[in-house]
Copies of this chain bind each other. A is one copy, B any other.
Amino acid sequence: MYTKKIEEDLNCGLRIGFKIFGGKWKMCILDAINNGFTRPAEIYRSMPDATLRVIEMQLAELLYFGVVDKYSEDVYPKKTEYRLTNLGKSILPILSQIDKWGTEHSAFVKERLQELDEVQ
């Protein structure tokens, strides 16, 4: 994590929300955890487009902001589980709403993106 050079206005709920779960993979990670993929390696396997490193980094931020909790057991295979806190769970409805919206409009969006590709 690092501090930004340009200070942010966090007077707007929208900006705060994005601050917490607006990263490229954060929502996907929360979704994965919610679907039972609670360990880093599991999350990674469930979304191989992200690297393990980025998953670790985002988990660290989610942990910092109290969205997830971390439980480590010293057994083999080394077991670390990340679970949603109540704060994390409170994000789930938003998550599913965005997912629903995106799924509903995916055809349209993809069409537009394809146009862009054809131009370049």
Contact = CB atoms under 8 A, between A and B. Distances in A.
Interface of A: 1, 3, 9-10, 12-20, 22, 24, 27-28, 31, 49, 64-66, 87, 90-91, 93-95, 97-106, 108-110, 112-113, 116-117, 120
Contact of A109 (B19, B93, B95, B97): B19
A120 B3 contact: yes
B14 A28 contact: yes
B14 A117 contact: no
Contacts of A100: 13
A55 to B, nearest CB: 15
A66 B116 CA distance: 14
A10 B97 contact: no
